[in-house]
Amino acid sequence: MAAMTRVSPYQCHKLSRLPELSSSLVKTTSSFVSFPQKNKKFCRFSVLAMADLNTSTVLVTGAGGRTGSIVYKKLKERSENYTARGLVRTEESKQKIGGADDVYIGDIRNTESLVPAIQGIDALVILTSAVPKMKPGFDPTKGGRPEFYFEDGANPEQVDWIGQKNQIDAAKAAGVKQIVLVGSMGGTNPNHPLNSLGNGNILIWKRKAEQYLADSGIPYTIIRAGGLQDKEGGIRELLVGKDDELLETETKTVARADVAEVCIQALQYEEAKFKAFDLASKPEGTGTPTKDFKTLFAQIATRF
């Protein structure tokens, strides 16, 4: 039997209330503490692992994607602050990002399948998105433009609207404290070219999900990223804007690694909560690389 430690009734009372403080405190050790009552019975309960007192459990959905996998990896690298979880669609995607037990397989179109991954988390980072596919047979040498389609059951309405709504609902039911949602710039323009891909209206459905999150009552951060680039992060000055104003400039792209970093930084600062903003960066070699994220978030005044 584990060694017993005697504490005062006052100490026991204080400790017994700790699990109310955070859902991340549910992890325990096998040690026990006790103190004698007047009736000689013992009050016993598990001692919370001290490491867990300082960590926040964060679920990344779309963790098998190019940006989601970066967020998941960054969280894993910061285990002193975060307990990472990932949600992917397939076993293949799970293995692609390491196959750890903290990666769950689920279908965002089915709310019940999300419950195991979402239960007990503190924050949710949504990086799911419908993906248009190019129709076979396109020959760039003949000119013209390629045609796109969405796989059955995976169009923007089902993934970017219903799927994200399901995640928000499940998170709200589980008492999640913050949701970070990554969307795209261009949503103010219903005629944006992205909406014509596969006739999916992808930005329209994304915008609807963003509005649903903003109306949910859950503290949120909505990041509308510019054109995503597979480049090194942390070496550019980041720019925030609103209402697609950055699309009218020469600075309308951003590295996936920088988007991932902003997602994680948004979990740390009150200045990032109840905010929605466009995100891009200056070209590499111009400006000063962004390091002060608190100040970056403080610049933002738009709630949607």
Q: Catalytic site residues?
A: 184
- Taking residue 165's Cβ as centre, other Cβ atoms within 10 Å add up to 17
Nearest to 254 by CA among 237, 224, 229: 229
Residue 167 near residue 128, CB atoms below 8 Å: yes
- Contacts of residue 112, defined as CB under 8 A and 6 or more positions apart, other chains included, come to none
- Please report, as a single letter, which amino acid is at residue 117: A
- Contacts of residue 177, defined as CB under 8 A and 6 or more positions apart, other chains included, come to 122, 123, 218, 219
57/72 Cα distance (integer angstroms): 12
What is the β-pairing status of strands 133-134 and 148-149? antiparallel
50/54 Cα distance (integer angstroms): 8
48/46 Cα distance (integer angstroms): 6
Distance of CA 117 to the CA centre of its chain: 13
29/270 Cα distance (integer angstroms): 32
- Please report, as a single letter, which amino acid is at residue 81: N
State both tokens at 77: 């690298």
